[in-house]
Amino acid sequence: MTSFDGAARLLGRLGRGASLAARTALPVDTNPVPADWTHVTKVDPEDAKKLPLLYPLYLRHTSAVSVGGSADVNAANTEETFDLLGPASVPVFHEPSGPRHVTPRTREQADLLAIPEVLNGDSESLVGQLGEGAEYIREEMVPEMLRERLPWLPAFATGALADFATSWLLADAVFEAYVIQNPDSAAAREANVAESDLLSPREAKQRGMAAERHLESELVYLEYSGTYGGDEAAETLDAISESLTWSRLWYGGGIDSRKRAEAMLDAGADTVVVGDAFHRVADEEAELCERAADALDPDADPSAVREWVAENVAVADSNAAAYLATIPGAPDPERLARRYLSATVRTWLRLRAHRAAADDRRGDRPDLGADLRRALGPDLFDGLSEADAALVRRNLTALLRASRADGTDEAAHRRDGSKPSADEAVATHLGLTFSA
Ligand X SMILES: O=P(O)(O)OC[C@@H](O)CO
Ligand Y SMILES: CC(C)=CCC/C(C)=C/CC/C(C)=C/CC/C(C)=C/COP(=O)(O)OP(=O)(O)O
Residues that bind ligand X (CB under 6 A): 42, 187, 223, 225-226, 252-255, 273-277
User: What distance in Å separates the CA atoms of residue 302 and residue 369, rounded to the nearest whole number?
Assistant: 24
Considering only 55, 178, 348, 381, the residue that binds ligand Y (CB under 6 A) is 178
Q: How many Cβ atoms are within 10 Å of 168's Cβ, its own excluded?
A: 12
Binding mask 35-74 for ligand Y (x = CB under 6 A): -------x-------------------------xxxx---
- Residue nearer to ligand Y on the CB measure, 115 or 327: 115
Output the DSSP codes for 315-349.
GGGSHHHHHHHTSTT-S-HHHHHHHHHHHHHHHHH
Least separation in angstroms between residue 96's CB and ligand X is 13
Radius of gyration of the chain (CA): 24
- Residue nearer to ligand Y on the CB measure, 281 or 337: 281
* Residue 268 and residue 249 in contact, taking contact as beta carbons nearer than 8 Å: yes
At CA 253, angle to CA 288 and CA 226, rounded to 5? 60
Contact stretch for ligand Y (CB under 6 A) within 127-135, 234-242, 379-387, 391-399? 127-135
User: What distance in Å separates the CA atoms of residue 283 and residue 388, rounded to the nearest whole number?
Assistant: 22
Burial class (CB in 10 A: 0-12, 13-18, 19+), 407: exposed
User: What distance in Å separates the CA atoms of residue 81 and residue 59, rounded to the nearest whole number?
Assistant: 14
Q: How many Cβ atoms are within 10 Å of 63's Cβ, its own excluded?
A: 18
- Residue nearer to ligand Y on the CB measure, 69 or 268: 69
Q: Is 143 in the site for ligand Y (CB under 6 A)?
A: no
Q: How many Cβ atoms are within 10 Å of 35's Cβ, its own excluded?
A: 10
Binding mask 68-107 for ligand Y (x = CB under 6 A): xxxx------------------------xxxx--x-----
Q: Is 190 in the site for ligand Y (CB under 6 A)?
A: yes
User: What distance in Å separates the CA atoms of residue 392 and residue 350, rounded to the nearest whole number?
Assistant: 14
- Residue nearer to ligand X on the CB measure, 46 or 212: 46
| Residue 186 contact, options ligand Y, ligand X, none, Cβ 5-8 Å cut-off depending on partner type | ligand Y
| Residue 97 contact, options ligand X, ligand Y, none, Cβ 5-8 Å cut-off depending on partner type | ligand Y
Least separation in angstroms between residue 251's CB and ligand X is 8
| Residue 274 contact, options ligand Y, ligand X, none, Cβ 5-8 Å cut-off depending on partner type | ligand X
Give the residue from 429, 435, 400 showing the smallest Cα distance to 51. 429
Least separation in angstroms between residue 167's CB and ligand X is 28
| Residue 284 contact, options ligand X, ligand Y, none, Cβ 5-8 Å cut-off depending on partner type | none
Q: Which residue is nearest to ligand Y (CB)?
A: 133
| Residue 333 contact, options ligand X, ligand Y, none, Cβ 5-8 Å cut-off depending on partner type | none
Considering only 109, 225, 344, 403, the residue that binds ligand Y (CB under 6 A) is 225
- Residue nearer to ligand X on the CB measure, 95 or 285: 95
Q: Report the interhelical angle of 302-312 vs 276-295 (nearest 10°).
A: 110
User: What distance in Å separates the CA atoms of residue 309 and residue 366, rounded to the nearest whole number?
Assistant: 33
| Residue 96 contact, options ligand X, ligand Y, none, Cβ 5-8 Å cut-off depending on partner type | ligand Y
- Residue nearer to ligand X on the CB measure, 178 or 308: 178
User: What distance in Å separates the CA atoms of residue 66 and residue 44, rounded to the nearest whole number?
Assistant: 8
Q: How many Cβ atoms are within 10 Å of 376's Cβ, its own excluded?
A: 21
- Point out which residues bind ligand Y (CB under 6 A): 42, 68-71, 96-99, 102, 115-116, 118, 125, 129-130, 133-134, 137, 178, 185-187, 190-191, 225, 275
